Homo-oligomer: A and B are copies of this chain.
Amino acid sequence: MNTKNADLSLGSGDRDAGPRVLVVGAGAIGGFYGAKLYQAGARVSVLCRSHFEEVRDHGIDIQSIGGNFKFLPEQVIRHPEEYQGVPDFVVVATKVLPEVNAVHLVRPVMGPQTAVVLIQNGLFIEKPFLEAFPSHEIISCLAFISVRRTGPAQVTHQDFGRLALGNYPSGASSKVRLLSQWFERGGVECEVVPQVERSRWQKLIWNASFNPVSVLGGALNTESILKQAELTELLRKAMREVLRLAGAGGYEFPESIIQQNLDATLSMKPFKTSMLVDFEAGRPMEVEAILGNAVRFAMEKNVPVPVLESLHALILSVDRKGRMGGR
């Protein structure tokens, strides 16, 4: 194992020797993956804007297919300035929404060696961090998981959990490998990817198609989408446009990946996309991270994406209406 800091080394089983982690955004994703690092023995704190008292007083209950346990963060804080010490990793797990300025939340705790770890959906979401912290490592993670917040301080892990992670825009440093080892120690399957942007494009094939269609088609789970020939064809067209866009970004995928995505989804238990879960809960959806950034990239690169543009315009409108309380 190749690491410079002694306190980042694995194996002692002593929490004081574990890495210091601050999780920003202790929702379902942040709560779950923070808890897994905690289980591994890391010194995990959380920045928690809503339900601060519950989490401070009781920790976070993790109800998981892998077993239930209580996640007791080292520090529970409401503002970044309250963090004591310097974290080795700041894990950003907020929703990617125009109104959430995660860079602003992270800045006060950044030490010279602190790495920013993003566990978030979407495309190009690393760019604001790269611009704000050009001399820091940005570790970008994709989570393949079904997890929900089921109470103020309760997270229910329903299925999957794998992470793909690497440095943004590319590379896989010793810190990436170390973080992956800590996650694995907590029971999270990890894949270190040297081209994480490629992985983001790959995930977008599914996300940019299934997410908006699940909401716009009338609040449908994956099975209800895929049993309609016209919607399945619409998914194919949207996916084909993502492939063309990815190509313009320098990442080629074989056309066969479309059928693989459809088959893989059909083989899973029917589920609701993250956009649909947010829509049904009356919460803002990650429209710009998942579709808006792709559509703007298409404009820059002069790639025609009429289906993605249609989906974007419609889902943006539905999201706006929801924000006005009109849903």
Chain B neighbourhood of A320, CB < 8 A: 218, 228
Q: Is A306 part of the binding interface, using a Cβ–Cβ cutoff of 8 Å?
A: yes
Q: What is the bound-complex CA distance between A64 and B327, given in angstroms?
A: 32
Question: In the complex, what residue of chain B is closest to A233 when comparing beta carbons?
Answer: B313
Q: What is the bound-complex CA distance between A327 and B311, given in angstroms?
A: 20
Q: Are B307 and A216 in contact (CB under 8 A)?
A: no
Can you name 27 A-B residue pairings with CB atoms under 8 Å? A216-B314, A217-B313, A217-B314, A217-B317, A217-B318, A217-B321, A218-B317, A218-B322, A218-B327, A220-B317, A228-B313, A228-B316, A228-B317, A230-B312, A230-B317, A231-B313, A231-B314, A231-B317, A233-B309, A234-B309, A234-B313, A234-B314, A237-B310, A306-B306, A307-B307, A307-B309, A307-B310
Chain B neighbourhood of A310, CB < 8 A: 234, 237, 306-307, 310-311
Chain B neighbourhood of A326, CB < 8 A: 218
Chain A interface SS verdict (over half): helix
Question: In the complex, what residue of chain B is closest to A292 when comparing beta carbons?
Answer: B230
CB distance from A123 to the nearest CB of B (A): 18
Q: Is A213 part of the binding interface, using a Cβ–Cβ cutoff of 8 Å?
A: yes
Chain B neighbourhood of A228, CB < 8 A: 313, 316-317, 320
Chain B neighbourhood of A230, CB < 8 A: 312-313, 316-317
Chain B neighbourhood of A327, CB < 8 A: 218
From residue 282 to 327 of chain A, which have CB atoms closer than 8 A to chain B?
Answer: 306-307, 309-314, 316-318, 320-322, 326-327
CB contact under 8 A between A321 and B220, given known A310-B307, A310-B311: yes
Question: In the complex, what residue of chain B is closest to A326 when comparing beta carbons?
Answer: B218
Question: In the complex, what residue of chain B is closest to A327 when comparing beta carbons?
Answer: B218
CB distance from A9 to the nearest CB of B (A): 51
Q: What is the bound-complex CA distance between A314 and B307, given in angstroms?
A: 11
Question: In the complex, what residue of chain B is closest to A225 when comparing beta carbons?
Answer: B317
CB contact under 8 A between A237 and B309, given known A216-B216, A218-B326, A218-B327: yes
From residue 108 to 131 of chain A, which have CB atoms closer than 8 A to chain B?
Answer: none
Q: What is the bound-complex CA distance between A275 and B28, given in angstroms?
A: 38
Chain B neighbourhood of A321, CB < 8 A: 217-220
CB distance from A27 to the nearest CB of B (A): 25
CB distance from A239 to the nearest CB of B (A): 13
Q: What is the bound-complex CA distance between A314 and B218, given in angstroms?
A: 8
Chain B neighbourhood of A237, CB < 8 A: 306, 309-310
- Residue-wise interface mask of A (223-238) relative to B, using a CB-CB cutoff of 8 A (1 in contact, 0 not): 0010010110110010
Q: What is the bound-complex CA distance between A122 and B253, given in angstroms?
A: 41
Q: Are A314 and B313 in contact (CB under 8 A)?
A: no
Q: What is the bound-complex CA distance between A64 and B320, given in angstroms?
A: 36
CB distance from A25 to the nearest CB of B (A): 27
